[in-house]
Structure 1
C-alpha cells in the first residue's frame, strides 16, 4: 500500500514539474505596447503571473506556499530607468490565486526603453537552471513633465526664422540673382551637392553610426535642409563669391519646400518602421511652407518698399547671429537631458557632415571649372546647412520626446560647426598677414563679383555698377 502511495505522489509531482517545465508560466502586465510616463515621478508597473496548466498545478492538493517563482525585469539600458527593485517574488499559491504585484520605477532621461521580463527562479521545476524569457514587448516612454519651455522655444524660434527669412528676401536684388542664373553652373553645382549628395551621405552615416532610428532621422533631416545665412557670413570671411552664396541660399530655401518632403517620404519613413512612429507629412509640408514663403514676401518688400529693405539690411547679420545663439542656448537648456545622452558617435557624425559638405561642394565646383571664389562659396554653402530649419521641422513634425531624441544629432552638428570655422579663419588670417601664403587683400576689395559680371550688369536696364555690388557692399561694410 505504501508503495502505491509513493508511486502516486511521484506521479503527481512529476506531472506538476513537467507542466511547469514545458513552458507553463506566462506573464501579464496591465500596461501593454507603449506606455508614456512623465519624468521624475514614481510609477507602478503591475504584473500578474499565471500557469497555463492551472488545473494540474493548483488543484492537485499539494502545499504551494513554499514554492517561489521570481520575475526579473531588465531594461535595454540600465541607466534609462531607475527601479526600486528589479525582482518580483511570487509563491506558487499567489500565482494560482492570480495575485497582482508591482514594480516601482522612475525615469530621469527622456526617451524610450524596452523592458524584458525573465523568469529567473522556479522552485516547481527541479531542472530549472537558466532564465526563461516571458515577454519583451513593453516599451516605456519617459516624456517631459511640462511642455512650457519647449512650446516657448518652438514659437519664438519659428517667429525669428520667419522674420529673418523675410529680411533675407528683402536683401535679394533680382538683377543680381538673374546675372548669376544666366550662367547657372554655380547654383546647379550647389543644388546637386546640397540636395543629392548630402541627403545620401547623411543617410549612410546614420545607418553606420546610429542604432536608434530617431537619431538617424534627425541626422537625415539635417542633410536634407537648405543652406543657412551663416554660410553667407563665412563666405564673406573667407573671400568667397558672396553673390553666388546668397543666390544659392535663396534657391535652396525655396527648393527645400519640395526636396525635404521628397527625401523624407522616400527614406525617412523606413527609418521609423521599427519604432512604430509615422512622420506627419502634412505637418512637415505646412512647416516648410511657413518658413519659405517669407522669402517671396521679402522680395516683394524689396520691389515695393526699398527703404524698408535698406533698414532691414542693417540688422541682417546681427539678427542672424542672434538666431544661432537662441537655438544654441535655449535649445541646449530645453534639451539638456537629451544632450547628456550624447555619445561619441554623434560628435563623429557632426564632424563627418561638415567634412562631407566641404569636400563634395569643393569637388563638384572644381569639376565644373568654377573659379576660386565660387569654389569657396559652393563648399561653405553645402556644408553649413540651416540647422534652425531642421530643428523646427523636427519639433513641429514629431511629438515629445521623439522630437527631442531626433534633434540630438542636429545639436551635435551645430556644436561642431562653429569652432572649426573660427580656428580655420584665425589660421587663414595669420597665414595671409604673416607668411604671405594667402592673397593679402583687404576684404571689401575681394568680394565684388567678377569684372565681366559687373560689366554685364551695367547694361541691364535701370541698373548701375553700385547696384550690381550692393549685396557685397552691404555684407562687407563693417558699419552694417
Structure 2
C-alpha cells in the first residue's frame, strides 16, 4: 500500500500542472460540485502546513545558520518586491478597492508550499526552497498583516491584528503541532512522512477546486483583467527572484529556487484571509492566483528540468535533496 501511494505521489508531482488545469476546468463546468469545499479551506491549509512541519528537519535550520545569505536575499525580495509590484499594478490598472486589496494581499503572502515540489522538478536547490518557505511562513504572521495594512489600507479598512490571529491559527499552530508529534513519535512516523507531499498536493487541488467553483461566474466575467494582472505579477516575481539571485552571485540552482520562492505565493492563504477579513470580491484575485501559479510555475520547472545544471553548480545537490525532501 505504501509503495502504491509513493507511485501516486510521483505521478501527481510529475503532472501537477495538468491536474490543476483539469480540476480547474471541472470546477468551472460544475461549480456546485466543489462549492462545499470553501468552508473547509482553512482546515485544508492547516493540513498542508502540518505536512510541511512534518518534513522539517534540524538540518534545514542548520542550513539557514550556515549559509544565511540566499535565505535573507530571498525573504527580503519576497516581502518587498511582490507587495510593491502588486501595489503598482493596482494603480496602473485603476482597480476597484476590493480587487486592489485582493491583489495586494496575494503579494504580501509568504511563499507557497508547492514551491518546494516545483523547485525539485526544476533541478533547483530543494534544501534552500524548504528553508525559505519555512522562514517566510514564520515571518508571515507579522509581515503579511503589516504590509497589507500599509498598502491595501489605502483602498479598504484593514484589521492587522485580526489578520495576525488568523495566520497564527492556520499557519503556525499546525506547524508547531506537527513538530511536537514528530518529536514524540520520532522514527515511528518516518514512513508516513514520505507520502505527506501527496496529501499536500491533494489539499492544494481541493482548495483550488473549491475557490474556482465558488467564484466561477465572477472569474469568467472578470477573467481578462484578473488574469492579466495575475500573470504580470507572477511573471515579474519569477524574473525578479532569478535575476536578484544572479546579481548576488548565487549558483544556477539557487537562482531557479529563488525564482519560485519569490514568484509563487501561498495564494490559498490569501483566499482564506480575504474571505475572512475583506469581501468575496477581494478573494477573487487570490482565487485566480491559486490557479495561475500552479500552472505557470510547473511549466517553467518543466522547461528548466530539461536544462541540466553544470556540475560545478551542483556539487552538494544530492545531499541537500536528501536532507530536504
What's the TM-score once normalised by structure 2's chain length? Answer: 0.81
Matching residue within 42, 52, 62 for 1:168: 52
Aligned with residue 301 of structure 1, among 156, 181, 184: 181
1:286 aligns with 2:165: yes
Per-residue CA shift, 1:272-310, capped at 9, x if unaligned? 2xxxxx333343121111122222222233333223552
Shift in alpha-carbon separation, 1:312–1:353, aligned structure 2, 3 A: farther
Please name the residue that 1:226 is paired with: 110
Given that residues 242 and 447 in structure 1 are in contact (C-alpha distance below 8 angstroms), is that contact kept between their aligned partners in structure 2? no
Aligned pair partner of 1:366 in 206, 224, 246:
246
Rounded to whole Å, the distance in 1 between the matches of 2:321 and 2:238 is: 26
Superposed CA deviations along residues 287-335 of structure 1, whole A, max 9, x for unmatched, are: 1111222222222333332235524423322122112211221211111
Q: Would you say 1:158 and 2:42 are equivalent positions?
A: yes
Match of 1:189 in 2: 73
Aligned to 2:217: 337
1:34-64: per-residue Cα shift (whole Å, max 9, x none)?
Answer: xxxxxxxxxxxxxxxxxxxxxxxxxxxxxxx
Partner residue in 2 for 1:179:
63
> Counterpart of 1:340 in 2: which secondary structure?
helix
- Cα pair 1:257 1:289 within 8 Å, conserved: yes
**Does residue 349 in structure 1 map to residue 233 in structure 2?**
no
Shift of 1:209: 1.6
The 1:337/1:308 distance shift into structure 2, 3 A limit, reads farther
Name whichever structure is richer in strand by fraction: 1
Q: What's the secondary structure of 2:152's corresponding residue?
A: helix
Give distance in 2, aligned partners of 1:176 and 1:232. Answer: 13
In structure 1, the partner of 2:295 is 419
Q: Does 2:267 match 1:391?
A: no
| Alpha-carbon shift at residue 204 of structure 1 (Å) | 0.7
Identify the residue that residue 119 of structure 2 maps to in structure 1.
Answer: 235
CA displacement 1:203-238 (0-9 Å, x = unmatched): 111121243110010010000001111100110001
Aligned partner of 1:407 among 283, 287, 290: 283
Aligned pairs, number: 290
Aligned residue runs from structure 1 range 94-113, under 5 A: none
In structure 1, C-alpha distance between the alignment counterparts of 2:302 and 2:127, rounded to whole Å = 24
| Larger mean Cα displacement after TM superposition, 336-345 or 380-389 | 336-345
Please tell me whether the aligned partners of residues 167 and 312 of structure 1 are also in contact (alpha carbons under 8 angstroms): no
Larger Rg: 1
* C-alpha contact 2:106 2:270 (8 A) present in aligned 1: yes
Task: Name the structure 1 match of 2:20.
Answer: none
Distance 2:70 2:147 in 1: 23
Question: Structure 1 stretches of 5 or more lacking a match?
Answer: 1-148, 273-277, 455-467, 476-480
- The structure that is helix-richer by fraction is 2
Contact 1:154 1:395 in 2 (8 A): no
Partner of 2:26: none
Measured after TM superposition, the shift of residue 187 of structure 1 is: 0.7
Deviations 1:3-54 (A, max 9, x none): xxxxxxxxxxxxxxxxxxxxxxxxxxxxxxxxxxxxxxxxxxxxxxxxxxxx
Partner secondary structure for residue 385 of structure 1: coil
